[in-house]
Amino acid sequence: MIAYKAEMAGIRVEWVNPTYTSQTCQCGHREKANRNGIRFRCQRCGYTLHADLNGAINIAKAISGFAV
Ligand SMILES: [Zn+2]
């Protein structure tokens, strides 16, 4: 079940575009400088978390219809 979900997520990642999702903040600000290695820090609002986690959140939003 987990492998099945991961496979589904992998397909979705390609559709959503992982580059943009990992650079986009929850406030809607998207900037290349937001991502620095594994760290995500929004240049506008200062929101900070793990970059891959942020990307995963944005992908989840895109899949569920809450895309920015
Ligand atoms: Zn922000």
Question: CA-to-CA distance for 42 and 33, rounded, in angstroms?
Answer: 8
Kindly give the distance from the C-alpha atom of residue 3 to the centroid of ligand 1, in angstroms, as a whole number.
32
pTM over 0.85: no
Q: What is the DSSP code (8-state) at residue 46? A: -
Kindly give the distance from the C-alpha atom of residue 30 to the centroid of ligand 1, in angstroms, as a whole number.
8
Compute the C-alpha angle 33/26/62, nearest 5°. Answer: 105
The mean predicted confidence, pLDDT, of the chain is 82
Domains contained in the chain, number: 1
pLDDT at 6: 63
**7-26 pLDDT, tens per residue?**
666 655 556 677 788 899 99
Question: CA-to-CA distance for 58 and 12, rounded, in angstroms?
Answer: 11
Q: Grade residue 28 by pLDDT with cuts at 50, 70 and 90.
A: very high
Kindly give the distance from the C-alpha atom of residue 65 to the centroid of ligand 1, in angstroms, as a whole number.
20
Domain span including residue 42: 2-64
Kindly give the distance from the C-alpha atom of residue 29 to the centroid of ligand 1, in angstroms, as a whole number.
5
| CB-neighbour burial class of residue 10 (10 A; exposed 0-12, middle 13-18, buried 19+) | exposed
